């Protein structure tokens, strides 16, 4: 196998296994069976190596995404792309941090490609008459929100890496950039129960009703939370 490939592979494995998200060129050289200065001859400096690692790992993800994209429903493609983005971040946290966090001098090529891919999907959405704003701006909005959610899930483990938050933000953002779905008849009135339950819950939190025992208050709060979450769960 190529020296370059062996180095990138070793660096990738070390990076994925690294607890602090960093690697050392010496460690990479040892694992790849190569002396350290070879890395500097091939990649220039450590940033070059990391860029190559990102391009390698994210390139595979991009290839898979590019191969599966052409559905007849561009909005569904957009939703799937968002979810895959989030999943990739959770599965490769160190790699993802290198891509969507300031610090790396030269932004890897893959990030630009991902942006381009998203823009092409949004172009198709626009051609289907479903996009309310220009695709460039929409791409920036989607990327910002999606990477924000992904980084938040990585940074704060108390969110228990739930994907719910990701889909929730996704739907909010899509509702903000898409035109209303052309489904037949009357547009479905948003259910008022969750909002009413939510308002009452907030009021009760600020002024606990004295006519209720603590246990009653707790049970009532639980029920209101359930109602605020909507009819499905």
Partner DNA sequence: GATCCATGTTAGCGACGATAACAGGTCATG
Partner DNA sequence: CATGACCTGTTATCGTCGCTAACATGGATC
Binding site for DNA (CB under 7 A): 3, 22-27, 34-38, 40-42, 45-47
CB closer to DNA, 23 vs 173: 23
Residue 159 is given by DSSP the state G
Residue 18's binding partner out of DNA, its own copies, none, with CB under 5 to 8 Å set by partner kind = none
| Residue 146 is a binding residue for its own copies (CB under 8 A) | yes
Residue 27 neighbours by CB under 8 Å, 6+ apart: 14
71 binding partner (options its own copies, DNA, none; Cβ < 5 to 8 Å by kind): none
Nearer to its own copies, 68 or 152 (CB): 152
* Nearer to DNA (CB atom), residue 3 or residue 217: 3
Residue 202: contacted member of its own copies, DNA, none (CB under 5 to 8 Å, by partner type): its own copies
Q: How far is the CB of 117 from its own copies (least distance, A)?
A: 16
Neighbours of 221 (CB within 10 A): 14
If one asks whether residue 73 binds its own copies (CB under 8 A), the answer comes out as no
95 and 54 in contact (C-beta within 8 Å)? yes
The binder of its own copies chosen from 35, 70, 91, 127 (CB under 8 A): 127
Cα–Cα distance list, 138 to 87, 125, 191 (Å): 21, 11, 28
CA dist., res. 206 & res. 148, Å (int):
31
Q: Which does 5 bind (CB under 5 to 8 A by kind): DNA, its own copies, none?
A: none
Which residues, in sequence order, are bridge partners of residue 131? 178
Is 92 in contact with 151 (CB distance < 8 Å)?
no
């Amino acid at each position: 196998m190529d020296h370059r490939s062996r180095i990138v592979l070793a660096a990738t494995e070390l990076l994925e296994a690294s607890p602090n998200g960093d690697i050392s060129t010496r460690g990479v050289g040892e694992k790849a069976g190569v002396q350290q200065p070879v890395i500097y001859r091939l990649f220039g400096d450590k940033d070059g190596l990391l860029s190559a690692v990102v391009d390698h790992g994210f390139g595979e993800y991009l290839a898979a995404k590019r191969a599966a994209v052409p559905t007849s429903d561009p909005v569904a493609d957009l939703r799937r792309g968002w979810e895959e983005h989030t999943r990739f971040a959770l599965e490769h946290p160190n790699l993802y941090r290198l891509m969507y966090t300031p610090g790396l001098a030269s932004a890897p090529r893959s990030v630009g490609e991902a942006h381009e891919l998203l823009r092409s999907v949004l172009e198709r959405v626009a051609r289907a008459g479903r996009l309310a704003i220009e695709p460039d701006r929409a791409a920036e909005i989607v990327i910002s929100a999606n990477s924000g959610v992904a980084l938040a899930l990585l940074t704060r483990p108390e969110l228990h890496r739930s994907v719910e938050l990701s889909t929730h933000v996704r739907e909010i953002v899509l509702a903000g950039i898409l035109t209303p779905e052309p489904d037949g008849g009357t547009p479905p009135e948003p259910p008022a129960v969750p909002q009413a339950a939510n308002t009452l819950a907030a009021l009760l939190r600020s002024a606990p009703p004295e006519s209720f025992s603590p246990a009653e208050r707790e049970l009532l709060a639980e029920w209101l939370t359930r109602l605020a979450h909507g009819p499905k769960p």
